[in-house]
Structure 1
Amino acid sequence: MAREVPADEHSDLIRVLTESEHALSLSDIHEMLTIQVPRRTLQSRLKTLVENKVVIREGQVRSTKYRLVSTSSDAPETPSAPLPLSDAGRAALAQVSQNIAARNPAGYNQTFLTNYVPNESRYLPGDLTTELLNLGSAGTHEQEAGTYAKQILQRLLVDLAWNSSRLEGNTYSLLDTRRLIDFGEAAEGKDQREAQMILNHKDAIEFLVRNVEDTGFNRYTIQNLHALLANNLLSDPAAPGRLRSIAVGIEGSAFHPLENPHLIADNFDTILEKATSIDDPFEQVFFVLAHLPYLQPFEDVNKRVSRIAANIPMIRANLVPLSFDGVPQDLYTKAMLAIYETNDIALLRDVFVFAYRRSIQTYAAVRQSLGEPDPFRIKYRTEITEVVSQILSTPMSRQDVVAFLKPWSADNMPDCDQAKFRRTIEDELLALHEGNFARYRVRPSEFRAWQALWSEINSQNN
């Protein structure tokens, strides 16, 4: 069985191998390490990474060199990913994609937290966060905190509630989520826990946006966020908002979270203190996304808390929110496994950068719609009219619409526009009423038939 490299040494080794464009000798690696270890120990560490199929060994004896698995000639060794990954991210993905039997148990590594010094340590390169800051500005930075989030609140409630719930395995469609949040109508045939999860997200997001002056990285905010997100979902009614005093496990992981209640409370406070001290809002976000779930301060719902809490800096600085749009559930899970088992941040960093760039693209249209016509709707004006007309004249139920839109968009437009097109169609359907349906070239009788079908389904759900 392949052994495990200690978390801090693993991260340092990966850093050295990532920063080099060529394979490195043992001596080269030894000189470039920040954490110095004996050469014999380093050789053993590299042997472990080779066994775990994270590193490739080239050459023989004195000419031996090492390099990370890459996606070119080494593609069969590395699981594919639906978004761009760095070499370090691909290595982390390969590591946690092994069978759990090949991943040795890992406990909570205290130094992962204690070694991080706010405004000195960095998980995200400074040039990257400067770029994201420029792109993510909502144009309201001189206005009071929370202005932009309040302007787009209804959109944010749906986007963030749906995507965060989806990452937990929730099967509600985006359209179902919109109906639930906007009208309180649960989707037919779905588990009640799924509706509860989404509504809890709505309450948690509203709590942050409407109490922006009082919220931050403090116990009041984070524990109440947990109480809102865990409401009616835990067997112990007193557990929401309470730091855990029991042992917990993580399904599919070789990680064993901290069990001592006093250490949990101490580390929880340390995380909040360090997060508060970080000046860069994006570094703040990433720190929280990594460290809150790693500690597992609550009995359950920890990742949800981290995803909603990560938007605190975005809301306060009037930046585009992080909605996790387009993030694959499996890849996010693997990124968290890499944090849990080896404290490797590379894969989560790749996921975060992808997610925030997607959020910037999504909310660029929202910002545009606050003052000017949406260029996306202009571009697809004919297609939007055609699809909505077909939905109304058929007529289609909510379930029919979800089943129809995905293949239609796949056949008629580029991959990069498909999700946004489906979202636009759903917006149009939710905004339809007696006074605006004529633009879709349907007769009054057809519109009423469609409206009756949706009303009938809704009444069955209530």
Structure 2
Amino acid sequence: MPAIIKNEELELLRDTIHAAMPNGRSISELLDIDQLDYSRRTLQRRLESLVARGEIVARGHSRNIRYITPVFAPEKEHYYGNMLSEDGASYGNPSASSYRASRLEESHAPYSAAADDSWLSDGGLECKKLIARPLAERKAVGYRAEFLHDYQPNQSYYLDEATRAELAELGRVGLNDLPPGTYLRKLLDRMIIEISWNSSRLEGNTYSLLETERLMQHGLSHGGKSTAETQMLLNHKAAIEMLADPSDELGFNRYSLCNLHALLAENLLGEIGAGGRLRRVAVGIGQSVFRPLEIPQQIEENFQLVLEKAAAIDDPFEAAFFVLVQLPYLQPFADVNKRTSRLAANIPMVQHNLCPLSFVDVDTREYLNAVLAVYELNRVDYLRDLFIWAYKRSCTRYNAIRLTLGNPDPFQLKYREQIKNCVRELVQLGAHGEQAKALIAERASQLAPSHEEKSFGQIVAAELAALHVGSIVRYKLRPAEFAKWQSGRES
């Protein structure tokens, strides 16, 4: 009689494969995962069971078989060209947008949504159908300032009261009394990988989740990927580090938005100095009848108004969605506008210690078309439905991770800045061995009361030992400083 396979084992295996979409995993990759403690034959039997149940799909032949999520198992490839990826090409300036999406797979609705669009409201479905019409049937439109001007913070609402209350209930993580950013910092290593990967794949980035993890944690870029794709992911990492770093300046203001854009756009724009600077050139949106605003003074005025209105909104979810709508619509920067809006939408989540929005499992085509509905129709129904779906999905994902990690250590929260400063000093001084121990003891006596010196020193030593190239930004260390310190550790 064949052994009965427990559902929990199959679910763990299935979720591991789903987490690596769209590229899935091979048997060799699965065997390398510690949580899956199976022999090759046992693993093959479980994979066969999941395939038979339709929960995963096998692609390839012999040793090249990969197991992938069904919605990312296309029968054919679909080429979008430069449709919204990135935001637009500057007229007369081909180098202004050096990164363009290459190939996107034929896609479907958000991962767990039904193929019949049941996740969409009536208004969202109507917008989807209107945007699906051929370009020739869609009316050319320009930027309408009244779409922004008519919105009145805390009087106008894109999200109704019931939706805001539901999302607030889902997003609470029990850390409201702790400093802003506590939740994001608690899960930082995992969230950097997942948020960076999900946001980047919406721009056509072809790195897999596993490849992204290797890049973020070990600095290993994939030889078969473009440098632009690698740069895009590393830029996301730096931008998320900025959001997680406690700062009174973080908010819907010029400093935060422009610096967020500068980090996301580093080395991806053809013009030096374009990162973080409002555009001075006209841009166009590929595969759209929408023509963005062109006059620099008007771009400046409306950008300031977007910031003022966003900052005035009390509800964090309304503020997040407002930025997702209005920032890409204005196209204030020469490029990288959608990416900036997606990370900026997490500013109120950081400020209120809410679960972040990561766009986990959101389908690329659905997102792009929902943004098009804002551009061409000035309607938010489609994007709102996707936002709600995506945030619920993010909460399910990250609250499960949080439970496995437990609550933040109050001691580490209390001394978080002192600990980071001490680690940075040790690295910059090239301290190792006895020298490091002596310096840690000295700093512990200076920075913590006598009954907490030992704990302080132990945490600093542990963080120093765990330091790797993927975590140095949080300590404000440069790669060259870390490399020099690491070479001394290995000698």
| TM-score in terms of structure 1 length | 0.63
Aligned equivalent of 2:462: none
Aligned equivalent of 1:351: 386
- Give how far 1:143 is off: 0.8
- Say if 2:343 is the partner of 1:308: yes
Shift in alpha-carbon separation, 1:259–1:127, aligned structure 2, 3 A: same
- Say if 2:281 is the partner of 1:284: no
Work out the CA distance in 2 between the residues paired with 1:351 and 1:304: 16
Contact 1:212 1:315 survives alignment (8 Å):
no
Q: Which amino acid aligns with 1:237?
A: I
- Give how far 1:83 is off: 6.4
Q: 4+ residue runs of structure 1 moved beyond 3 angstroms?
A: 79-83
Work out the CA distance in 1 between the residues paired with 2:345 and 2:298: 23
Contact 1:212 1:316 survives alignment (8 Å):
no
Describe the superposition over 1:338-397 as per-residue Cα deviations: whole angstroms up to 9, x where unpaired: 00001010000000001000001001211211239xxxxxxxxxxxxxxxxxxxxxxxxx
- Give how far 1:81 is off: 6.2
Aligned equivalent of 1:455: none
Contact 2:180 2:246 survives alignment (8 Å):
no
Contact 2:321 2:387 survives alignment (8 Å):
yes
- Give how far 1:238 is off: 1.3
Aligned equivalent of 1:228: 263
Can you give the 5+ residue segments of structure 1 that lack an aligned partner in the other structure?
1-78, 373-430, 432-462
Hey, which of these two has a bigger chunk of helix by percent?
1
Q: Which amino acid aligns with 2:397?
A: T
Aligned equivalent of 1:394: none
Aligned equivalent of 1:152: 187
- Say if 2:208 is the partner of 1:177: no
Shift in alpha-carbon separation, 1:81–1:330, aligned structure 2, 3 A: farther
| Structure 1 residue matching 2:199: 3-state secondary structure | helix
Aligned equivalent of 1:87: 122
Equivalences for residues 121-200 of structure 1 within 5 A: 121-200=156-235
Q: Which amino acid aligns with 2:279?
A: R
Aligned equivalent of 2:294: 259
Describe the superposition over 1:220-252 as per-residue Cα deviations: whole angstroms up to 9, x where unpaired: 010011110000001101111110011000111
Equivalences for residues 31-50 of structure 1 within 5 A: none
Shift in alpha-carbon separation, 1:126–1:253, aligned structure 2, 3 A: same
Describe the superposition over 1:145-180 as per-residue Cα deviations: whole angstroms up to 9, x where unpaired: 111111011111011100000000000000011110
- Say if 2:305 is the partner of 1:270: yes
Aligned equivalent of 2:89: none
Describe the superposition over 1:29-53 as per-residue Cα deviations: whole angstroms up to 9, x where unpaired: xxxxxxxxxxxxxxxxxxxxxxxxx
| Structure 2 residue matching 1:270: 3-state secondary structure | helix
Identity %: 52
- Say if 2:242 is the partner of 1:207: yes
| Structure 2 residue matching 1:187: 3-state secondary structure | coil
Contact 1:123 1:283 survives alignment (8 Å):
yes
Shift in alpha-carbon separation, 1:81–1:324, aligned structure 2, 3 A: farther
RMSD between aligned alpha carbons? Answer: 1.5
Aligned equivalent of 2:94: none
Work out the CA distance in 1 between the residues paired with 2:129 and 2:229: 31
- Give how far 1:192 is off: 0.9
Work out the CA distance in 1 between the residues paired with 2:178 and 2:133: 49
- Say if 2:363 is the partner of 1:328: yes
Shift in alpha-carbon separation, 1:334–1:104, aligned structure 2, 3 A: same
Aligned equivalent of 2:376: 341
Work out the CA distance in 2 between the residues paired with 1:231 and 1:80: 38
Q: Which amino acid aligns with 1:364?
A: N
Aligned equivalent of 1:390: none
The structure 2 residue matched to 1:364, chosen from 399, 404, 409, is 399
| Structure 1 residue matching 2:353: 3-state secondary structure | coil
Aligned equivalent of 1:298: 333
Contact 2:238 2:263 survives alignment (8 Å):
yes
Aligned equivalent of 2:135: 100
Work out the CA distance in 2 between the residues paired with 1:190 and 1:82: 33
Work out the CA distance in 2 between the residues paired with 1:175 and 1:88: 37
| Structure 2 residue matching 1:214: 3-state secondary structure | coil
